[in-house]
Amino acid sequence: MQRADDILREIFGFDCFRPGQEEIVHAVAAGENVLAIMPTGGGKSLCFQLPALLRDGVTVVISPLIALMRDQVRALQEAGVAAGALTSGNTGEENDAVFAALNEGRLKLLYMAPERLASGAAAAMLRRAGVSLIAVDEAHCVSQWGHDFRPDYLRIGELRRALRVPLAAFTATADAETRTEIVEKLFDGGTPRVFLRGFDRPNIHLAFAAKDGPRQQILRFADARRGQSGIVYCGTRAKTETLADALEVDGHNACAYHGGMEPADRRAVEDRFAREDGLIVVATVAFGMGVDKPDIRWVAHADLPKSIEAYYQEIGRAGRDGAPAETLTLFGADDIRLRRTQIDESPAAPERRAADHARLNALLGLAEALGCRRRMLLRYFGETAEPCGYCDLCDTPPETFDGTQAVRKALSAILRTGEWFGTGHLTDILTGNATEKVRARGHDALPTFGVGGEFDRRGWQAVFRQMMGHDLVRPDPERHGALRLTDAALPILRDAATIDLRRDTIRAAGRRPDTPRALVSDEDAPLLAALKARRRDLAETARMPAYMVFTDRTLIEMAETRPADLDAMARISGVGAKKLDRYGAEFLAVINGAADIPHPARRKLAGQGAGDLYDRLLAVQTDLARGACGTLKPMSCPAPLLARVAQLRPGDAGTLERLLGDRRAERFGPAFLDVLQGAG
Q: Are 360 and 311 contacting, i.e. CB atoms less than 8 angstroms apart?
A: no
- pLDDT tens across 291-308, in order? 667 778 899 999 999 888
- Per CATH, 4-196 and 200-331 having the same topology is answered yes
- Per CATH, which fold does 4-196 belong to? Rossmann fold (3.40.50)
Average pLDDT over residues 509-534: 60
Q: Are strands 482-485 and 473-476 parallel, antiparallel or unpaired?
A: antiparallel
Phi, then psi, of 391 in degrees rounded to 5 = -145, 170
Question: What pLDDT score was predicted for residue 188?
Answer: 82
d(CA 668, CA 349): 28
d(CA 354, CA 90): 40
Question: What pLDDT score was predicted for residue 510?
Answer: 39
Average pLDDT over residues 272-287: 81
- pLDDT tens across 481-502, in order? 688 898 989 999 998 999 999 8
3-state SS assignment for residue 578:
helix
Instruction: Note the Cα 183 to chain centre separation in Å.
Output: 20
d(CA 177, CA 381): 11
Q: Are 220 and 189 contacting, i.e. CB atoms less than 8 angstroms apart?
A: no
d(CA 59, CA 48): 8
Average pLDDT over residues 671-677: 90
- pLDDT tens across 22-45, in order? 999 999 999 999 999 887 767 888
User: Is it the case that residue 1 has pLDDT exceeding 80?
Assistant: no
d(CA 150, CA 143): 8
Q: Which of 21-30, 136-145, 262-271, 383-392 has the highest mean pLDDT?
A: 21-30
Return mean pLDDT, the chain.
84
SS3 content of the chain, % helix, strand, coil (to 5): 50, 10, 40
Instruction: Note the Cα 115 to chain centre separation in Å.
Output: 23
Contact partners, residue 447, CB within 8 Å, separation at least 6: 412, 416
- pLDDT tens across 218-254, in order? 999 999 888 888 999 998 889 999 999 999 999 999 9
CA distances 77 to 11, 109, 242, Å, are 10, 10, 39
Strands annotated E in 400-554: 400-402, 473-476, 482-485, 500-502
Question: What pLDDT score was predicted for residue 514?
Answer: 31
Average pLDDT over residues 177-193: 85
Give the lowest-confidence range in 79-93, 585-599, 607-621.
Answer: 585-599
CA distances 600 to 585, 611, 614, 660, Å, are 19, 12, 12, 20
With both helix axes pointing from N to C terminus, report the angle between 662-679 and 609-623 in degrees, rounded to the nearest 10. 130
**CATH 1.10.150.80 is right for the domain spanning 525-596:** yes
Comparing 597 with 91, the larger pLDDT belongs to 91
Question: What pLDDT score was predicted for residue 282?
Answer: 95
d(CA 504, CA 510): 10
User: Is it the case that residue 509 has pLDDT exceeding 60?
Assistant: no
Phi, then psi, of 544 in degrees rounded to 5 = -145, 165
Comparing 61 with 566, the larger pLDDT belongs to 61
Average pLDDT over residues 189-212: 86
**DSSP characters for 208-237?**
EEE-SSHHHHHHHHHHTTTTS-EEEE-SSH
Q: Are 642 and 618 contacting, i.e. CB atoms less than 8 angstroms apart?
A: yes
CA distances 255 to 239, 266, 315, Å, are 12, 10, 19
CA distances 495 to 400, 426, 483, 489, 490, Å, are 20, 21, 20, 10, 9
Q: Are 259 and 284 contacting, i.e. CB atoms less than 8 angstroms apart?
A: yes
Q: Are 413 and 472 contacting, i.e. CB atoms less than 8 angstroms apart?
A: no
Average pLDDT over residues 662-675: 90
d(CA 464, CA 505): 12
Question: What pLDDT score was predicted for residue 212?
Answer: 82
Band (pLDDT 50/70/90 cuts) for residue 412 is very high
Burial 80-106 (b: 16+ CB within 10 A, else e): ebbbbbbbeebeeeeeeebeebbeeee
User: Is it the case that residue 634 has pLDDT exceeding 60?
Assistant: yes
- CATH class of segment(s) 200-331: alpha beta
Question: What pLDDT score was predicted for residue 522?
Answer: 61
- pLDDT tens across 340-374, in order? 777 877 887 777 777 787 788 888 889 988 889 99
Average pLDDT over residues 597-609: 62
Q: Which of 177-181, 313-317, 519-523 has the highest mean pLDDT?
A: 313-317
3-state SS assignment for residue 86:
strand
Average pLDDT over residues 182-201: 85
- Residue 254 DSSP label: E
Q: What is the CA radius of gyration of the chain?
A: 28
Specify which residues 183 forms β-bridges with.
Answer: none
Question: What pLDDT score was predicted for residue 598?
Answer: 54
Q: Where are the domains of the chain?
A: 4-196, 200-331, 525-596, 600-679
Q: Which of 12-16, 152-156, 302-306, 606-610 has the highest mean pLDDT?
A: 302-306
Q: Are 91 and 85 contacting, i.e. CB atoms less than 8 angstroms apart?
A: no
Band (pLDDT 50/70/90 cuts) for residue 594 is very low
Instruction: Note the Cα 678 to chain centre separation in Å.
Output: 47
Dihedral, CA atoms, 243, 245, 248, 253, nearest 10 degrees? 70
Specify which residues 111 forms β-bridges with.
Answer: 61, 85
Band (pLDDT 50/70/90 cuts) for residue 62 is very high
- pLDDT tens across 552-577, in order? 778 888 888 888 888 788 888 778 76
